[in-house]
Amino acid sequence: MDKVLLVDNDKENLDKIVKGFKGLHHFKLLTASTGKTALDLLNDNKVSVFATSINLPDINGVQLIAFMTRNFSSTPCIIMLDPGQSKPWFTDRGGHEDFLYYLEKPFEFGRLASIIFLGLNLKDEGQAIKGMTLKHFLPLIALSNKTCQMEVASGGQKIGFLYFNKGVLLDAKHDNVTGDQAARDMAIWDGVSITLTKLSKKNMKNPIQTKLIDIAGATWKKKPKTKAPLTRRSLPTPPEDTGQSKLQNSLSRHMNVLRTIKGYHGLAVLNPEGHILAVDTMDESIDFTTFTAEFNNIFAECGRAVNHTGMDRCTGLTVHTPKGIILIITPDVYKYGNFRFIGLMSPEGNGYFMQIQLEKIIPKILGAP
């Protein structure tokens, strides 16, 4: 079984997470409240995902993440930001930032579980072998106001140095390149091994003018305005005998698996008439009522065409557009009932992986033994 290590000196937060994970048997959770305990656990256990807060009483989270790059470079990591800390938002969102994920406190238990599953999937799909990109690590230096010298190695051949004073970049160099250009060159290095040491006085000169967050190719994400939570009343309300409550609760129990899939935006469960019985969404702006009604009609037409041409019945349909992927799957009607599952993904989403995951969890959502 996969092991996940969570490091946080906030005992109340740790206890809540441990309690929340009791009913989730997909991995074993290890916990630590100090950096030293975390290092002991890492040396004694094969950890599949590592999560840590930045501010710890002894070895801070920045040093722990640097340790991971040197010793467990293919292990996805999560940084749990303290309340009020800004989250970096990378402008080039190619998916690799998921290897080092920044999560803001306070967070819902389900949100943490989703990100852990995302890390597990990165390893399962072989994407974690690329390791960490330096630009995704750099915001940690600013967040922790770190003063240090950073040695960065990449690919066993590239070696460079960056110098920081209280989170501000002073200088950088690799080969014969120095300053701003050296820092920008190194920012895109992947598979990095990072070592942090004490900053010598000779390197404490005037800082580079470019801000560290700009060199990382990111911005500080502003906290969004509070939105009304998505409640049951936000959904179309069918008659009570449709079993909406039971189905919605069942979908909610399994949504953490779905939310780890690259490009996942949402999923709705319909009856043959196109009425929504349950829904999960990552984007409250999606109008699932209109969206599902249109594609339910398309699926019905597809079913008629399949039947007319003697190809039995339509059990699934995938539609690719420049703005997204629509995936429709029906379970075995004789075993599970007449339902339709409609999923929405971004254009670069892993549609095949979502299909495989849906085929696994649909029986569980529908209450199969």
- The verdict on 88 and 31 lying in the same domain is yes
Displacement of CA 31 from its chain's centroid (Å): 20
Domain assignment present for 194:
yes
Could you give the 3-state DSSP secondary structure of residue 28?
A: strand
pLDDT of residue 222: 59
Domain assignment present for 175:
yes
The model's pTM: 0.64
Alpha carbons 188 and 355: distance in angstroms, whole number:
33
- The verdict on 147 and 14 lying in the same domain is yes
Domain assignment present for 80:
yes
Report, in angstroms and rounded to the nearest whole number, the Rg of the chain calculated over CA atoms: 24
Cβ burial of 110 (10 Å; 0-12, 13-18, 19+) is middle
pLDDT of residue 23: 67
- The verdict on 345 and 253 lying in the same domain is yes
- The verdict on 285 and 167 lying in the same domain is no
Give the bridge partners for 50, in sequence order.
5, 77
pLDDT of residue 221: 76
Domain assignment present for 134:
yes
- The verdict on 178 and 240 lying in the same domain is no
Query: What percentage of the chain exceeds 90 in pLDDT?
Result: 37
- The verdict on 74 and 109 lying in the same domain is yes
Residues of the chain with pLDDT under 50: 95-96, 223-244, 369
Cβ contact 186:162 at 8 Å: yes
How many helices, marked H, and strands, marked E, lie in the chain? 11, 17
Alpha carbons 50 and 249: distance in angstroms, whole number:
29
pLDDT of residue 245: 56
* Structure confidence by residue, pLDDT tens digits, 237-273: 333 333 345 788 888 877 777 887 888 888 988 887 7
First to last CA, the chain: 22
Give the bridge partners for 264, in sequence order.
345
Range of the domain at 6: 2-221
133-171 burial, b for 16+ CB within 10 Å, e for fewer?
A: bbbbbbbbbbbbebbbbbebbbeeeeebbbbbbebbbbb
Alpha carbons 21 and 116: distance in angstroms, whole number:
11
E-assigned strand segments in the chain: 2-7, 27-32, 49-53, 77-81, 87-90, 100-104, 148-154, 158-165, 168-174, 177-178, 192-197, 218-221, 264-270, 276-281, 316-321, 324-329, 340-345
73-96 burial, b for 16+ CB within 10 Å, e for fewer?
A: bbbbbbbbbeeebbbbebeeeeeb
Give the bridge partners for 316, in sequence order.
329
Alpha carbons 190 and 136: distance in angstroms, whole number:
10
pLDDT of residue 97: 56
- The verdict on 158 and 197 lying in the same domain is yes
Query: With the CA atoms of 288, 293, 299 and 300 taken in that order, what torsion angle do they form, in degrees rounded to the nearest 10?
Result: 160
Domain assignment present for 150:
yes
CATH number of the CATH domain containing 64: 3.40.50.2300
DSSP state of 60: -
Domain assignment present for 227:
no
Strand pairing class (340-345; 264-270): antiparallel
Could you give the 3-state DSSP secondary structure of residue 158?
A: strand
CA-based nearest residue to 141, from 73, 99, 187 = 187
Domain assignment present for 357:
yes
Alpha carbons 111 and 134: distance in angstroms, whole number:
25
- The verdict on 6 and 83 lying in the same domain is yes
How many structural domains is the chain composed of? 2
Pull the structure tokens for residue 146.
Answer: 């770190």
Pull the structure tokens for residue 210.
Answer: 């470019």
CA-based nearest residue to 119, from 101, 135, 136, 138 = 101
- The verdict on 246 and 360 lying in the same domain is yes
